[in-house]
Structure 1
């Protein structure tokens, strides 16, 4: 059976709920807010394809990016917001960015050229069609 492997971008020993407590601080602290938020992904295998469903409510389709490079599927999002407020005495500018990235190693039986993605009702759906992978056959070579 083929599997999709998730790449973690945080070390496995980092637990966002225990980081502050281990350093003698309250559990709700500035460290908790600085950790990146990564959306959940459901993976479903059917007879003809794998289907990934990524929960991304409230995001703009234009800010989502799905890329395949060297047998690795990467789903990323980046958005930048800027607000300006100007009066006679001061100018205030606030910048905010939000982003995430999820990567999956594709099995050998996925046809990377036929991958399709759609974004509906806050769910990014990526269809990864399967192909039949032929095993390398042994061939005897006649010595001339």
Structure 2
């Protein structure tokens, strides 16, 4: 009994082959719980620009938030089923003696590759930038469009 109290059960000494995995899982659970408890306004390094992708039977539509970015500073390309959006976000510089209290808007080059769910017709891509939102219409390739089949 003294051995068991001091050293644990002799059979527990070797432990389960999965005990180390259980220990790692518990550590990850604690880490994720700490992450979830961060305040709602906590700034994090997000992906720029934020995008939405949707589709109908004829095309894919990609909307990207690009506040303050001019169309001359954007480069858009389509290869196979991948849309690449690159550009530069410029923010007017303040005087050198300015002290920031909060700085969440960053300037610089960005690039975002977006995999589209199916084949596309690269020749028919259209893009429009209005009110800081880039809307790209990417038509589907004819072979990717759904076909109505008549039942006889």
Matches within 5 A, 1:126-141: 126-133=136-143
User: Larger Cα Rg: Structure 1 or Structure 2?
Assistant: 2
How many Å apart are 1:101 and its aligned residue? 1.4
Q: Is the 8 A contact 2:76 2:84 kept in 1?
A: yes
How many aligned positions are there?
A: 103
Matches within 5 A, 1:1-144: 35=45, 37-79=47-89, 97-133=107-143
**Structure 1 consecutive aligned stretches of length 4 or more whose deviation exceeds 4 Å:** 79-83
Q: Which has the higher helix share?
A: 2
Q: Is the 8 A contact 1:76 1:100 kept in 2?
A: yes
The answer for unaligned runs of 5 or more in structure 1 is 1-17, 86-91, 135-144
Query: What do you get for the CA RMSD once the two structures are aligned?
Result: 3.5
Match of 2:64, SS state, is strand
For 2:139 and 2:71, the matched residues in 1 are separated by 22
TM-score, with length taken from structure 2: 0.51
TM-score, with length taken from structure 1: 0.53
When structure 1 is superposed on structure 2, of 65-74 and 109-118 the one drifting more is: 65-74
For 1:99 and 1:108, the matched residues in 2 are separated by 28
The alpha-carbon distance between structure 1 residues 45 and 80, as it changes in their structure 2 partners (threshold 3 A), is closer
The answer for unaligned runs of 5 or more in structure 2 is 1-30, 97-105, 145-152
Higher relative contact order (CA 8 A, sep 6+): 1
For 1:51 and 1:78, the matched residues in 2 are separated by 22
Match of 2:48, SS state, is coil
